[in-house]
Amino acid sequence: MSKKSESPRKTRARDDRIVARWLWESFIRHRTGFIVLAALFMVLEAATLGAFSYLVQPMFDEVFIEGDRARVYIVALAMASVFFGRGLARLAHKSIMAWQAELATAELQSMLLAHLTRLDQAFFKLNAPGILIERVRGDSEALRRVFKTLITGFGRDGAAVIVLFGVAVWTDWQWTLIALLGIPLLGVPLVAIQRLIRRRSTEARLAAADSSNRLDEAFHGIATLQLTGSEAREIGRFRKIMRSFVRKATRAAIGQAAVPTVMDFGAAIGFGLVLIYGGMQIIEGTRTVGQFMSFFTALGLLFDPLRRFTALTAEWQNILASLERTHALLQVKARVTNPPPPHLPVPARAEASVELRDVGFAYDSEPVLRGLSFTAPAGKTTAIVGPSGAGKSTVFALLTRLADVTEGTVLIGGQDVRRMDLAALRGMFAVVSQDTALFDESLRDNIVMGAADVSDAALAEAVRAAHVDDFLPLLPDGLDTLAGPRGSNLSGGQRQRVAIARALLRNAPILLLDEATSALDAKSEAFVQEALERLAEGRTTLVIAHRLSTVRKADQIIVMDRGRVVEQGTHDELLAQGGAYARLHALQFGAKDQANSP
């Protein structure tokens, strides 16, 4: 039978088996030693419950009814030993399983992060950071529950059911059979409830992802919210999302709570029938009070783990809802991958020309680049200008293979970048972008990032050339000062200069500058622009700029609009043409400045 002809139930069962196999092979199989050790302590805990219910009979018949004083001490010591042993066994297995649960969850979260960092930019255009955070942190919580709830529950409660059932049968098999008469009646409602739990749990996880994404956007845009007076609107949106989450999560919780409730209905029938039948036997003298109390204790203790044991099936449905999403995320294939060897060699610095040949690209269905072609000669500076949305930043993503072309070819030194080793290719680039990416580490770590065997002299020179040393005396720990989350401890200009120092230190053959001086004041911009010009000497440099004053000295200027090259030439040549570049220049400097511009 083909997958297309499978019923939804069979498809779901097949998917469940795939996720269960992945769970076993990736996180459980290599931990079976610890799980078996914990299971031994679970069995010991269950055995203490059986011993307790068994000791109830001599406690009633021989101590309370017959008044055997010698037996008081023996039974009391035995009871104390049972509780002492149960406490130690519970502590041991809970400690082992909690340890393994945390290890497995950390392992899964690291696995997810490693997988996500290998995906291309197209994936991140379609998946917001807040949703991905929830996928990594929230959905992986299900794995912790596998160890702390599911495995522990099946081990401990399964052993308790077997032991207590044995005590009940040993005491009176007829009473046991009568007590369990109501259980078969529960099958149909339990199956229906489990299906409901699965559906509601999936809906709740999706709603949780929406709430995480909304929080992420609110915290990252907090200044904008406050300056525009939009706090109430944003709170209203978040409350709407949370109302949806509460409604769906409550339905899932009610479904889970319904499972032990249904079990209680079965227990009520069994207890009632046993009390009638057993009570009559005690009245007739064929059974003792101690026997009934021992059986009743075992049965009472039995229904509690049996109820939890049944509830674990509902918990498994809840866990599967999260693990399926996690497994699906790990199955997302990166569109950008390292090509199989042999790889094309990385061009030398003097030969590192850049060429885009009939390049087309779309992040989703909307084209960004359409037949884009141009060449940036090796060792020269090429500026790329044009209105927002023209596709300028996408060019940088294609050069570094953060994304791959859908049509055409990107070449460096005349060689297709898709046939080069990915790490070696990206090692050819130093990038300073408009959105400076700093991490909550020291400035030293943020500057050295990605560079190998950096000497103190080289670091000091990069710091000086990028004018980072201008503000170092103002920081409490100099280069060892933490940048803060997203570089929040630094001003915009300071963050940009740290990023420029990082690019200087890489000493790569190709330099990509995306509004590299946009956050600097006029004085700092002049210093840093001079440093970048020195850095660009002998390197292939591509500059994205909206301020045309920063690209006048470029060897050539590429003017883009709607994903195509519309003009190409030097600053003077393009002004003389009176086309798109001249109009952009006029908008920024006015007609008078354009006439007098060098």
Query: What pLDDT, in 10s, does the model give residues 212-228?
Result: 777 777 766 666 666 56
- pLDDT, residue 592, reads 41
Instruction: Please check whether residue 203 is in contact with residue 326, taking contact to mean a CB–CB distance below 8 angstroms.
Output: no
Q: What is the mean pLDDT of residues 7-13?
A: 71
Confidence of residue 188 (pLDDT cuts 50, 70, 90): low
Tell me what percent of the residues of the chain surpass a pLDDT of 90: 9
- In angstroms, the CA 306 to CA 186 distance is 13
- In angstroms, the CA 433 to CA 518 distance is 9
- In angstroms, the CA 507 to CA 434 distance is 20
Tell me what percent of the residues of the chain surpass a pLDDT of 70: 76
Question: What tokens were used for 346?
Answer: 């990385």
- The fold adopted by the segment(s) 25-330 is ABC transporter transmembrane region fold (1.20.1560)
Whether 34 has a pLDDT exceeding 90, the answer reads: yes
Q: What is the mean pLDDT of residues 335-364?
A: 88
Instruction: Please check whether residue 483 is in contact with residue 468, taking contact to mean a CB–CB distance below 8 angstroms.
Output: no
Tell me the DSSP string of 363-432. Answer: SSSSEEEEEEEEEE-TTSEEEEE-STTSSHHHHHHHHTTSS--SEEEEEETTEEGGGB-HHHHHTTEEEE
Provide the angle, in degrees to the nearest 10, between the axes of the packed helices 152-171 and 32-58. 30
Tell me the DSSP string of 140-196. Answer: THHHHHIIIIIIHHHHHHHHHHHHHHHHHHHH-HHHHHHHTTTGGGGHHHHHHHHHH
Average pLDDT value over all residues in the chain? 79
- pLDDT, residue 375, reads 92
- pLDDT, residue 70, reads 63
Q: What angle do CA 512, 514, 519 make, to 5 degrees?
A: 130
Question: What tokens were used for 465?
Answer: 């050339």
Domain ranges of the chain: 25-330
Q: Using DSSP, how many helices (H) and how many strands (E) does the chain show? A: 20, 10
Q: What is the mean pLDDT of residues 362-382?
A: 87
Q: What is the mean pLDDT of residues 380-399?
A: 87
What is the distance of C-alpha 484 from the center of its chain? 22
- pLDDT, residue 598, reads 43
Whether 267 has a pLDDT exceeding 70, the answer reads: no
Whether 349 has a pLDDT exceeding 80, the answer reads: yes
Confidence of residue 446 (pLDDT cuts 50, 70, 90): confident
- pLDDT, residue 235, reads 81
- In angstroms, the CA 38 to CA 29 distance is 14
- pLDDT, residue 1, reads 43
Whether 4 has a pLDDT exceeding 60, the answer reads: no
Sheet arrangement for strand 354-362: 367-376, 354-362, 407-412, 415-416
- pLDDT, residue 38, reads 92
